[in-house]
Amino acid sequence: MANDPRFPAGFLWGAATSAHQVEGGNRRNDWWRFEQRPGVVRGGRGSGDACGHYGRFDADFALAAADGHNAHRLSLEWSRIEPDRGRIDACAVAHYHDVFASLKRHRIVPVVTLHHFTNPLWIADAGGWESRATVDRYADFVRFCAREFGGEVDWWCTVNEPEVFAFRGWSEGIWPPGVRDDSRALEVIANQLEAHGRAFHVLHAEDRADADGDGIAARVGFAKHYVQLEALRAWHPLDRLQALLERRVFVEAIEQATSEGVVDLSIPGAKRVKRVLPELEGALDYYGLNYYTRWRVRSLAAVPHVATPGALLNDLGWEVWPDGLRRALLAAGRFGKPVLVTENGVADAHDTIRPGALLAFAGAMHAAIAQGVDVRGYLHWSLLDNFEWSDGWHGRFGLYAVDPGDPALTRTRRRSAEVLARLARANAITDAVREAAAH
Ligand code: IFM
């Protein structure tokens, strides 16, 4: 494998998106409401019409298919499907059936996320993810989706980045609901993990239809934000201790929850959360890995995370460190489950860094496979420039550029799209890929 430039047969290549970031007009969720508060979104422009993907999905999938993508990750917007508690919107359901039909026509396998940061207003107003009742409501939603869409979907992703969701919304307070309380953030992580465990069993019980004919009706995982955390000053005991504590809560505790069925979350100054949840033990068919960057941790500082001094940075100031992907894959591979790269990308409006980075990320993935990790696919974040939460439209992650100020929302192909297309078509790192990355 090490000298063979190919990826395993059947490798999934594609892009990842989430509903609120691309669809436009998601007015009935808590993010839309939050965006109306002055000052919460960088640059002041909210999601608005986003990329207009709700109406243009078919043309967007045609672009992906023309680029050789054979997989696509998207999320189902809960607030569209169930805008009020217990009321299913038939038009929204029909819409997502059209989405899956379009993907099928384009020979693209869907990887479907059931919770990607947004909540229906009725969920948010009933206590949101601080309330364990939300776990029940979410399980009902998952049951509905499994029954309704199980014939079109095999790859399910229960929750996206539970730890990012919790810390941004309940610790830093920069996402809805805008709370700053570490103890509440830990409760939210625990509830999301519990929800994952519930969803895992619901999906296996309810989705019995094998959509792609490979003999497996449901593959269930979650998407973990795998951030590399290292001491800024390797010699400094407090930097090392802080990095260790953060790795523990941000990475290891999440992994432990699904491998051992024990949720055990603590950070200094916050109330520890411990739950024994047998339904979580082994509740993972694949490890969904979202990898972007490494942060250097410094103790006793107002800004505790900084990029490695002198490193190559993306437009959001995140270090571009491809070997971190190889290391994350090796770490994820320890659990003995297949790994799917559910996100990886670079915020790079001018597409100067991304083409080379894409090649380097592919190399890192290839090396991890050569080292024995069962990697099943790579979903680049993202197909289109999209609404980057509190960073607004500042982080441009798309293989295709989209300007939210352009009434036509034109898609403009970036060179990176060609790099990924060549990788996908060859299922290998070829000279043609290197050439596209180098120009
Ligand atoms: O845009 C986000 C996505 O919603 C979750 N993972 C990280 C991406 C880039 O910040």
What are the structural domains of the chain?
Answer: 12-223+331-438 (3.20.20.80)
Counting residues of the chain whose pLDDT is more than 90, the rounded percentage is 99
pLDDT digits (tens, 9 = 90+) for 106-125: 999 999 999 999 999 999 99
User: What is the CA(236)–ligand 1 centre distance, in A?
Assistant: 31
The DSSP letter of residue 391 is G
Q: Using pLDDT thresholds of 50, 70 and 90, give the confidence band for residue 96.
A: very high
Q: Which residue matches tokens 């206590």?
A: 127
User: What is the CA(370)–ligand 1 centre distance, in A?
Assistant: 28
Residues with CB under 6 A from ligand 1: 18, 21, 161, 290, 343, 381, 388
pLDDT digits (tens, 9 = 90+) for 297-331: 999 999 999 999 999 999 999 999 999 999 999 99
Residue 2 has pLDDT above 80, yes or no: no
Q: How are the residues of the chain apportioned to helix, strand and coil, as percentages rounded to the nearest 5?
A: 40, 20, 40
User: What is the CA(174)–ligand 1 centre distance, in A?
Assistant: 14
From 23, 75, 113, 161, give the residue whose CB has the most ligand 1 atoms within 8 Å, as the site to mutate.
Answer: 161
Residue 1 has pLDDT above 70, yes or no: no
Burial class (CB in 10 A: 0-12, 13-18, 19+), 78: buried
Q: Using pLDDT thresholds of 50, 70 and 90, give the confidence band for residue 332.
A: very high
User: What is the CA(16)–ligand 1 centre distance, in A?
Assistant: 10
Instruction: Bin 375: left if φ > 0, else alpha if -120 < ψ < 50, else beta.
Output: beta
Q: What is the mean pLDDT of residues 60-84?
A: 99
Check: pTM over 0.95? Answer yes or no.
Answer: yes
pLDDT digits (tens, 9 = 90+) for 163-208: 999 999 999 999 999 999 999 999 999 999 999 999 999 999 999 9
Show the DSSP H helices in 371-414 as ranges. none
Pairwise CA distance, residues 201 & 192, whole Å: 15
Residue whose CA is at the smallest distance from ligand 1 atom 9: 388
pLDDT digits (tens, 9 = 90+) for 211-256: 999 999 999 999 999 999 999 999 999 999 999 999 999 999 999 9
User: What is the CA(346)–ligand 1 centre distance, in A?
Assistant: 10
So what's the pLDDT on residue 7? 98
User: What is the CA(388)–ligand 1 centre distance, in A?
Assistant: 7
State the virtual CA torsion across 31, 35, 37, 38 in degrees, nearest 10. Answer: 160
In 17-166, DSSP assigns E strands to 71-75, 109-113, 155-160
Pairwise CA distance, residues 378 & 399, whole Å: 14
So what's the pLDDT on residue 375? 98
Atom number of ligand 1 nearest to Cα 316: 10
Q: Using pLDDT thresholds of 50, 70 and 90, give the confidence band for residue 3.
A: confident
Residue whose CA is at the smallest distance from ligand 1 atom 10: 388
